[in-house]
């Protein structure tokens, strides 16, 4: 809990109290300590009276913020922004349509809209992506093993993003096929890295 000292915010809170009453929130206002007489008085007053009340040094308004829900809301917002960035990144770097729909919750319409916005609608490669040379493939698979062990709690899309950052010369579709080949031959890798079997 902390005290509001800003006059404008104090005035807005007083106005909000009246708005809450008028919109059906009377019980909550009464439960917070307002008497019916005070509420009736506030509803009858013009806005300039709230301004003068807010300027009074004796008026104390304290606010309680649900910090747990605040953190949750901010995390949800950050996660949504991160996912939007990843969607754009994956489309720009050659992720197939089927892979995109497996990694993200995307309808065909949403995916097509994104591809059009990014000017990628006509740039989808057909057929299975080409695998890198064997020597490079070994390095990719080793890196994938390390990523899966180091970031076990991350979703598949985050780990695949890390893999592409290390081997950005290849398309995401190619890297996905390469790491799937590794997963299919190495059952000891943690279950979180199980192949998506999508190309």
- For the stretch 133-145, pLDDT in tens is 999 999 999 999 9
- Give the integer Cα–Cα distance in Å for 59 and 11: 11
Residue 173 CB neighbours (<10 A) = 24
- CA dist 191 and 184 (Å) reads 12
Cβ(111)–Cβ(105) under 8 Å? no
Q: What is the mean pLDDT of residues 94-121?
A: 88
For residue 134, give both structure tokens: 């064997």
Tell me the percentage of the chain whose pLDDT exceeds 70: 87
Q: Please give the Cα distance from 99 to 90 (Å, whole number).
A: 9
Summarize pLDDT for 32-62 with one digit per residue, the tens. Answer: 899 999 999 999 999 999 999 999 888 999 9
């Amino acid at each position: 809990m902390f005290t509001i000292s800003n006059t404008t915010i104090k005035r807005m809170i007083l106005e909000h109290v009246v708005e809450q009453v008028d919109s059906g929130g009377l019980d909550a206002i009464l439960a917070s300590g307002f008497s019916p007489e005070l509420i009736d008085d506030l509803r009858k007053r013009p806005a300039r009276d709230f301004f003068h009340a807010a300027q009074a040094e004796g008026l104390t308004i304290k606010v309680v913020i649900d910090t747990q829900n605040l953190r949750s809301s901010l995390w949800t917002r950050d996660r949504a922004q991160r996912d939007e960035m990843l969607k754009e990144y994956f489309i720009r770097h050659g992720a197939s349509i089927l892979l995109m729909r497996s990694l993200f919750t995307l309808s065909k319409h949403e995916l097509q809209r994104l591809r059009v916005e990014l000017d990628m609608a006509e740039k989808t490669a057909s057929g299975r992506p080409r695998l890198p040379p064997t020597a490079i493939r070994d390095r990719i698979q080793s890196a994938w093993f390390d990523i899966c062990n180091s970031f076990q709690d991350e979703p598949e899309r985050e780990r695949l993003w890390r893999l592409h950052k290390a081997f950005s010369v290849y398309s995401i579709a190619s890297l996905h096929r390469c790491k799937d080949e590794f997963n299919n031959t190495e059952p000891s890798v943690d279950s979180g890295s199980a192949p998506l079997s999508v190309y």
